[in-house]
Amino acid sequence: MPSTSDALAHDQAVGRLRASYERIPVGEPVRLAKRSSNLFRPRAELESPGLDVSGLTGVISVDPVARTADVQGMCTYEDLVAATLPHGLTPMVVPQLKTITLGGAVTGLGIESSSFRAGLPHESVLEMDILTGAGELVTARPGDDLFRMFPNSYGTLGYATRLRIALDRISPYVALRHVRVSLDELAPVIAEIVASGMYDGEPVHFVDGVAFSPAEAYLTLGRNSDAAVQTSDYTGQQIYYRSIQQRQTDFLTAHDYLWRWDTDWFWCSAAFGAQNPWVRRLWPRRWRRSDVFHKLVGFENRHHVAARISRRRGQAPRERVVQDVEIPLARVAEFLRWFDTEVGMRPVWLCPLRLRGSASWPLYPLAPGETYVNVGFWGTVPIAPGAADGDVNRAIEDAVARFGGHKSLYSDAYYDRDTFNRLYNVPALTDVKQRYDPDARLTGLYEKAVTRR
Cα 86 from chain centroid (whole Å): 24
Higher pLDDT, 44 or 256: 256
Strand pairing class (318-328; 372-382): antiparallel
Alpha helices in 24-100 (DSSP H): 77-84
Q: What whole-number distance in Å separates Cα of residue 348 and Cα of residue 333?
A: 12
Burial of 330 (0-12, 13-18, 19+ CB in 10 A): middle
Mean pLDDT of 61-87: 98
Q: Would you say residue 90 lies in a domain?
A: yes
Is the per-residue pLDDT at 231 higher than 60? yes
Q: Would you say residue 227 lies in a domain?
A: no
Strand pairing class (206-213; 348-353): antiparallel
Other C-beta atoms closer than 10 Å to the C-beta of 426 total 20
Kindly report the CATH number assigned to the domain that includes residue 131: 3.30.465.10
Is the per-residue pLDDT at 35 higher than 70? no
Are the beta carbons of 70 and 2 closer than 8 angstroms? yes
Q: What whole-number distance in Å separates Cα of residue 256 and Cα of residue 174?
A: 9
Is the per-residue pLDDT at 336 higher than 60? yes
Is the per-residue pLDDT at 214 higher than 90? yes
pTM of the model: 0.95
Q: Would you say residue 444 lies in a domain?
A: yes
According to DSSP, the residues that pair with 322 across neighbouring strands are: 378
Is the per-residue pLDDT at 309 higher than 90? no
Mean pLDDT of 362-389: 94
- Residue pLDDT, tens place only, 192-203: 999 999 999 999
- Residue pLDDT, tens place only, 442-451: 999 999 999 8
Q: Would you say residue 344 lies in a domain?
A: no
Q: What whole-number distance in Å separates Cα of residue 270 and Cα of residue 312?
A: 22
Q: Would you say residue 133 lies in a domain?
A: yes
Q: What whole-number distance in Å separates Cα of residue 401 and Cα of residue 322?
A: 17
- Residue pLDDT, tens place only, 421-450: 999 999 999 999 999 999 999 999 999 999
pLDDT of residue 349: 98
Q: Would you say residue 269 lies in a domain?
A: no
Q: Would you say residue 52 lies in a domain?
A: yes
Q: Would you say residue 262 lies in a domain?
A: no
Least confident piece of the model among 142-156, 286-300, 317-331? 286-300
Q: State the amino acid at position 5 in one-letter form.
A: S
- Residue pLDDT, tens place only, 87-121: 999 999 999 999 999 999 999 989 999 999 999 99
Other C-beta atoms closer than 10 Å to the C-beta of 19 total 11
Q: What whole-number distance in Å separates Cα of residue 166 and Cα of residue 126?
A: 7
pLDDT of residue 396: 98
Average pLDDT, the chain: 94
Are the beta carbons of 114 and 94 closer than 8 angstroms? yes
Buried b / exposed e over 169-181, threshold 16 CB at 10 Å, is: ebbebbbbbbbeb
pLDDT classification of 415: cutoffs 50, 70, 90: very high
Contacts of 99 (CB under 8 A, 6+ apart): 36, 38, 76, 77, 78, 289, 290, 291
Mean pLDDT of 170-175: 98
Is the per-residue pLDDT at 310 higher than 80? no
Is the per-residue pLDDT at 44 higher than 70? no
pLDDT of residue 1: 67
- When divided into structural domains, the chain yields a total of 1
Buried b / exposed e over 253-280, threshold 16 CB at 10 Å, is: bbbbbbbbbbbbbbbbbebbebbeeeeb
Helix 332-342 / helix 391-402 crossing angle, nearest 10 deg = 160
Give percent of the chain with pLDDT exceeding 90: 85
At 159 the three-state DSSP class reads: strand
pLDDT of residue 108: 93
End-to-end CA, the chain: 40
Domain that holds residue 109: 4-170+434-451
Are the beta carbons of 357 and 368 closer than 8 angstroms? yes
- Residue pLDDT, tens place only, 254-296: 999 999 999 999 999 999 999 999 999 999 999 999 999 999 9
pLDDT classification of 308: cutoffs 50, 70, 90: confident
Contacts of 309 (CB under 8 A, 6+ apart): none
